Amino acid sequence: MKRKLILLLFGLLLISLRVFAQEEESNSSPSFYLQTAAANMYAWRGIVYDQGLVVQPTLGVNYKNWTFQLWGNITAIEEGGFPTNHELDFILQYKYELGDFTISPYLQMYTYPFHEEDSAIELFLSCDYSLADFTLNTTLSRDINLGVPLVFGTHSISYAKAVGYGFNFDASSGLGWGTKNFNNYHIGIEKGAVNFIFANTSLSYALTDKLSITPYLESFFIIDNEIKEATNSSLVNFGINVSISFNVFK
């Protein structure tokens, strides 16, 4: 069933690109981007899945309000006794702007080449409110392929500013919470809680108008005592991301 869904997503993408290419009356065309990040760990919602060097490539295409991404996690050097967690995700997102608000429903499929039984599909709803250089965000997610609903949410504030000479500074902070079902399934703690607070920062530099490099820092601080005992008290993830954009259809 999961393989059929993956093939369906690929088919929809190929059909969409064909349609995009044939729209001669439109001035817009799909844009592509390729990113590769290298980091010291893979942490998902405050939970460490890989400790050591990981490589996380992304291939994406944007067209009007639509975005399709292929995102991967490749374990290069494993440390601390963690199992190797190769991952490939499929993401389809739509953005709708209404004044200072941006509403983004999207679908994400998590697949694991060596652990197919752990594959999952989540439906997200994200809402942004822009206030000058600041953005307020609320994002809710729900698993849709398990019998029990697993709901997770984040609330954050971010700041973005061009600081000149090709540099752009970004910082964000917020909290993440999980329902009783989510925490029981992923952590083994049968309770709903505010799982963590987080703080992230990055400084990107545009080498050209299509090529940029971005060192970044992510930190999670687990604030629930039971979850802290089951996972970790806090973690810091640092890495560097290289991004290039290009056009296929002109």
Domain count, the chain: 1
Q: Does some domain include residue 119?
A: yes
Q: What pTM did the predictor assign?
A: 0.87
pLDDT, one tens digit per residue, over 115-155 is 777 789 999 999 999 999 999 999 999 999 877 899 999 99
Distance, in Å, from the CA atom of 176 to the CA atom of 198, rounded to the nearest integer, reads 8
Per the structure, the complete domain to which residue 180 belongs is given by 33-245
User: Is the pLDDT assigned to residue 33 strictly greater than 80?
Assistant: yes
Q: Does some domain include residue 14?
A: no
pLDDT, one tens digit per residue, over 98-110 is 999 999 999 999 9
Band the pLDDT of 5: cuts 50, 70, 90: low
Band the pLDDT of 16: cuts 50, 70, 90: low
User: Is the pLDDT assigned to residue 25 strictly greater than 50?
Assistant: no
Tell me the two tokens of residue 112.
Answer: 């694991």
Band the pLDDT of 15: cuts 50, 70, 90: low
CA separation, residue 235 to residues 57, 59, 81, 211, 221 (Å): 22, 27, 17, 30, 7
CATH number at residue 70: 2.40.160.40
Q: Does some domain include residue 238?
A: yes
Name residues whose C-beta falls within 8 Å of residue 210's C-beta, 6 or more positions apart in sequence: 244, 245, 246
Q: Does some domain include residue 17?
A: no
Band the pLDDT of 250: cuts 50, 70, 90: low
Distance, in Å, from the CA atom of 123 to the CA atom of 128, rounded to the nearest integer, reads 17
Tell me the two tokens of residue 32.
Answer: 């592509």
User: Is the pLDDT assigned to residue 92 strictly greater than 60?
Assistant: yes
Q: Does some domain include residue 10?
A: no
Distance, in Å, from the CA atom of 69 to the CA atom of 103, rounded to the nearest integer, reads 18
pLDDT, one tens digit per residue, over 172-207 is 999 999 999 999 999 999 999 999 999 999 999 999
Q: Does some domain include residue 8?
A: no
Name residues whose C-beta falls within 8 Å of residue 202's C-beta, 6 or more positions apart in sequence: 169, 170, 171, 214, 215, 216, 217, 241
- Of all residues in the chain, the percent with pLDDT exceeding 90 is 72
Q: Does some domain include residue 27?
A: no
Question: Which segment of 3-17, 83-97, 131-145, 195-209 scores lowest on mean pLDDT?
Answer: 3-17
Of 19, 11, 20, 13, nearest in space to 250 by CA:
20
Q: Does some domain include residue 91?
A: yes
